[in-house]
Every structure is written in C-alpha cells, then in structure tokens.
Structure 1
C-alpha cells in the first residue's frame, strides 16, 4: 500500500472530505488531492496530515501496523510567547515560569525542556510565516544552517537561521540570519546573543482567507 493509498483509506475511514482534512492539516485541498493521486510522494506537512487523520506520521510515510493516535506515546509541549521564550535564557525549566499554557502534541522524544513557539512577524518569510508553530529543544546544539531561538539582549526572543563564523578564545562566534533580506543579520561578536534552543519541528497551518 502506498502513501497515497494510506492517506485516502484513513480519510474515508474517518468519513472526511478532502477539504475537511486539508483544512485541519493546514494545506490546500488541491495539495491534498495531489497526495492522494500519488503525485506528491514526500508531503511537507506530514505531521499536520497525521494530526488530521488521527494517526502516526511514521505510519503514513512507511506503512506497517496501524496504531490509533490515542495509543501513541504522545506528550504535551507548552506553547509559549516570545517574552516567555526570552526568559528561558536564564530559567530553562518551563515549570518555573508563571502562567498557564496552551499545548501542542508530539510523539517525538525531545528533551523535557522542549517548548513550542508561534511565529510572529515576517523576518523569516518565505519559509516561515506568521501563525506557523515551531517546536524548539534547548538540549540540541545547532548545526550550521539550522534554525534557532535566541535572546539578543532584549526582553524577547528572536527566531533566525544559525551561521557559525569564527572561533576565538575558546568561544564559537556566529550570526543570526533572517530569511527576509529586509531585516539585518546579527553577529554574536557585536551583540550579546544567547542561543536558547534549536528548532526540531515546523508546523504549518492554513491561513484564513
């Protein structure tokens, strides 16, 4: 059974239309139809599709024994704001922060300090748009070209691409690079920047028209 077959079969089992599941997954109906037709073999938002179909992303991609999402070992990741993320530069434990949280679910084995952040602004367009949600693990060291959440001396955190530059006096210097050229690049040699965590998941949600 192919990815297309599994996607269509599961959608029909749930009694949903392509429009229904596409909206839940954050993609267009045309994109969903392309997946069921076998034209798209590696969907970008496989996690969102699995959420819409109430199944594991791994089962959608690879097949095998179907396990309902209710039986998957999922955990809740707190969805925090940029000010709260900035506080993690000095207070790494989510539980130490005041206030209640919304949560997102994941079946990945990220660290206990992992958090989710909803993108605001347009500095990381076109790849990351306002309203997208990223999952960030502070225990993972970034590799060149990966995306990080960092504190740049202000109260709030920032989300940018990580680019190491030079090594000096036992310290790795780096730049935080926006994908939108209208915004400046920040260098750790010029600013007090602290990496908070590395992005490990990117979730795209359909925008209301």
Structure 2
C-alpha cells in the first residue's frame, strides 16, 4: 500500500473532508489533493505526525506502512478493505457556464481501470478532458466517484440535474429544500439549486494520476 493509499484510508475512516483536514494541518486543500493523488510523495515528518493524530492512526503506520494502523482498535482495520480496480466509464470536461460541457457516464469499461482504495462497490472513474478544472484536476487525470458514500459539505460532487445538465462542484451547504455548490477553481459564483431539480449527487472520492491507467 502506498503512502497515498494509506492517507486515503485514514481520511475515509476519520469521516473528515479534505478541506477540514487541510484547515487542521494549516495547509491548502490542494496540497492534500496532491498527496492523495501521489503527486506529492508524502507530508513532512511534522505534518505526518500531526495528520496521524487528527486522523486517529499511528504516525509510523502512516509514514511507512509498518505496524498497526489504529493502535486503539486493531481489529477494525481489516474490515476497511484494500485498494482495488475501479472501472473508467467515461470522461468529464468543464464548460464556459459552470456546467459540464461533456460527461459520459456510464459508457462501458473501454478505457480500462485505475487502482484506488474505497469501500464503495459502485465506484467508477472519469477521465478529465481539458484544463477547465485546473488546478484541482488536470487534463488526463482520473476522478474516482463513490456514489454509495453520502456526500458531506466540503466534498467535491458530481451533480446531475433532471433537465440533463451536470456539474462538478464542491458541496458547500445542505438545506432541507436546496443545496449550495461552489466552483472548484474559483471561476464562478456559488450556485444554489433546489433539491427537487436534482436527479443524483455523487461524491468524488479523489483523483488519480494519468499513468495509473490499467488498460483492459
């Protein structure tokens, strides 16, 4: 298991969002994203120890993979699962009006798979086209979507509206009859959408670099 996979495992177990963890560590959410994608090999020793305390895991396990993940509950770790192959079912591209210009899902598993840790048996991956979602997601990277895991404020989400339009945004607030979404690249004003206009909200678990593709 790589550092990024251990970090993702600990983050998912903690139920914290990326922005929440970033605030606790005093780093940017983008920096956390780089760690989860494997673009940054690891956190500094100081931040690794701090992250381990926040996430409730052993700092040695997080840094090296050695020893027990959670010293206070050793038996819980095996039930969390391991990394597995996630099918790449389509692609996603941002448009000029804040909505997705293209999002094909699902279209089969023609591109192959990416390896990613998740408990969601319905997880799927989308390849990013273009630079409209930079710097959060770069061209040709993969976004892993976990529709069975409930999205929480602070999570990135794929939202499909009943009129067919689609968005990839950060979920900011949830109310009884509406949700508020914010742009992932500060390119657009926050959007408030009525719940009865929404067909699906799928949580984004994280990103995977382009070279992670395993062709089918």
What TM-score results when the alignment is normalised by the length of structure 1? 0.51
Alignment partner for residue 40 of structure 1, among 37, 44, 47?
44
The 5-angstrom pairing of residues 1-209 of structure 1 reads: 27=39, 40-41=44-45, 61-64=63-66, 74-81=83-90, 82=92, 83-85=103-105, 98=108, 100-106=110-116, 108-153=117-162, 155=164, 157-167=166-176, 171=177, 173-189=178-194, 192-205=197-210
Larger Rg: 1 or 2?
Answer: 1
Q: Is the 8 A contact 1:160 1:178 kept in 2?
A: yes
Q: Is the 8 A contact 2:174 2:180 kept in 1?
A: yes
Cα deviations by residue, 1:19-45 (Å, 9 ceiling, x for unpaired):
xxxxxx874xxx66xx6xxx83469xx
Q: Is the 8 A contact 1:144 1:162 kept in 2?
A: yes
The CA deviation at 1:129 is 2.3
The CA deviation at 1:201 is 2.3
The CA deviation at 1:109 is 3.9
Segment drifting more, 181-190 vs 140-149: 181-190
The CA deviation at 1:73 is 5.4
Change in CA separation of 1:59 and 1:105 when aligned onto 2, cut-off 3 Å = farther
The CA deviation at 1:155 is 4.4
Change in CA separation of 1:202 and 1:114 when aligned onto 2, cut-off 3 Å = same
CA–CA separation in structure 1 for the residues paired with 2:125 and 2:109? 15
Change in CA separation of 1:164 and 1:204 when aligned onto 2, cut-off 3 Å = same
- Provide the aligned length of Structure 1 versus Structure 2: 140
| SS state at 2:194 partner | coil
What TM-score results when the alignment is normalised by the length of structure 2? 0.50
Q: Is the 8 A contact 2:120 2:146 kept in 1?
A: yes
Q: Where does structure 1 differ by over 4 angstroms across 4 or more consecutive aligned residues?
A: 153-156
Q: Is the 8 A contact 1:152 1:191 kept in 2?
A: no
Change in CA separation of 1:26 and 1:165 when aligned onto 2, cut-off 3 Å = closer
Change in CA separation of 1:202 and 1:99 when aligned onto 2, cut-off 3 Å = closer
The CA deviation at 1:184 is 4.4
The CA deviation at 1:200 is 1.5
Q: Which runs of 5+ in 1 are unaligned?
A: 4-24, 44-57, 66-71, 86-93
